[in-house]
Amino acid sequence: MNPLTRLLVSFLGGELITLLTGVIPNTPAMLVGATHYGYPLPWLTRLIIAPQYNPWRVDMLGFLGDTIIWFIIVAIVLFILDRGKKAS
């Protein structure tokens, strides 16, 4: 796999995993009034108490952080799989 393809697959894989983790609750203990979603960093918040007009809030910094973390993990896995394939 060439480096550009590996980079593109890592980016798309990181984005996909980040969006999929948006359904995993990640609310800190002792926090009342909101439910946080996303893993390892919470990037989606649903306000429960006084939601006003739109109860959903997206933290773009948390989303970007999650994307970078999952991008790195996918890139490492692809690198290891590529090396393992060449060694065989």
> 62-80: per-residue pLDDT in tens?
999 999 999 999 999 999 9
Classified as helix, coil or strand, 64 is helix
Cβ atoms of residues 49 and 32 within 8 Å: yes
Q: What is the pLDDT of residues 7-36, one digit of tens each?
A: 999 999 999 999 999 999 988 777 778 889
For residues 53 and 6, which has the higher predicted lDDT (pLDDT)? Answer: 6
Six-digit token pair at 55? 């109860």
Classified as helix, coil or strand, 37 is strand
CA distance 45 to 59: 8
